[in-house]
Amino acid sequence: MTLRERRRSAAALLAAAGVPSPDHDADALLAHVLGTTRTALVTAADPTPAQLETYDALLARRAAREPLQHLVGVTGFRHVDLVVGPGVFTPRPETELLAGWAVECAVSTGSTTGRAPVLVDLCTGSGAIAKALADEVPRAEVHAVELDPAAHTWAERNLAGSGVDLRQGDMAESFDDLLGTVDVVTCNPPYVPLTAWESVAPEARDHDPHLALFSGDDGLDAIRVLERRAAALLRPGGWVGFEHADVQGESAPGVFSGSGRWAEVRDHRDLADRPRFTTARLAR
């Protein structure tokens, strides 16, 4: 079997297992085994028998819906790489849009005030948003917090050397030392309703920490906590941005607009034109 035929066969195996991106994942696993990139596979040498054995084992695990990122051990997020694995939520491409908004907001704040912007990332998970902020706004003062001990360990690895102040704790009680001084708060909270268990993709339901996924019967419990804590952390006129489920395009921003503390509450769509994240400015 030629390398091209093997790639085609691997993609067919993953497609039959219901993997959403079988061609991409088959090539990504092969590139990982060969120590090269997906684009370089067209000129890659044939795998050794040992490499083929490793590849077949990884394909079987992916066909069982183990996340691709867990199998290769790393994922990209905007301009940074993150190590990921069991015990931490795998960052999604959609969250890069929220991070991009936060970068723009931080840069604008720094230009307006003439000082380093103060940024806080709640429910940081792997540290994805915090690391992106530190990378793209190097003069910013970036803080992050994660409750789950296992996820916090992954965040420690990802944020080492970044200058981010990482803490372990509950977002509802974190950063008392920063009350009223923060310019931008970001959060990718748990937002899946408990009633939606069966609809969650196996990669997330069976491998992501449930603490990072589910948030009460309507999926809004953590967002309600975020609304109160962001209001306490932000300076007057400061901004908050948070991700939500695509079915929460009205209910998630409604948590903020209904409290009376926020102005310019706006929902944003992702690249597939689905409601994805909300931003708001502290009015008082």
pTM metric for this prediction: 0.90
Is residue 96 annotated as involved in ligand binding? no
Q: What is the DSSP letter of 141?
A: E
The pLDDT value recorded for residue 236 is 96
Q: How many CA atoms lie within 13 A of 191 on its CB side?
A: 22
Is residue 158 annotated as involved in ligand binding? no
Distance CA 186, CA 254 (A): 17
Listed by start position, the domains of the chain span 3-64, 77-82+87-282
Distance CA 187, CA 243 (A): 7
| CATH code, 77-82+87-282 | 3.40.50.150
Is residue 191 annotated as involved in ligand binding? yes
- With beta carbons less than 8 A apart as the criterion, state whether 154 and 103 touch: no
The pLDDT value recorded for residue 4 is 82
Distance CA 69, CA 83 (A): 9
Give the H/E segment covering residue 111: helix 95-113
In the three-class reduction of DSSP (H, G, I as helix; E, B as strand; rest coil), residue 56 is classed as: helix
The pLDDT value recorded for residue 279 is 98
Biggest alpha carbon–alpha carbon distance for the chain: 67
- With beta carbons less than 8 A apart as the criterion, state whether 228 and 107 touch: no
The pLDDT value recorded for residue 196 is 64
Task: Encode the chain (284 residues) as per-residue pLDDT tens digits.
Answer: 678 888 899 999 999 999 999 999 999 999 999 999 888 988 888 889 999 999 999 999 999 999 999 999 999 999 999 999 998 989 989 999 999 999 999 999 988 889 999 999 999 999 999 999 999 999 999 999 999 999 999 999 999 999 999 999 999 999 999 999 999 999 999 877 776 666 667 767 766 677 676 666 788 999 999 999 999 999 999 999 999 988 889 999 999 999 999 999 999 999 999 999 999 999 96
pLDDT in tens, 2-41: 788 888 999 999 999 999 999 999 999 999 999 998 889 8
The pLDDT value recorded for residue 6 is 87
Q: What is the DSSP letter of 214?
A: B
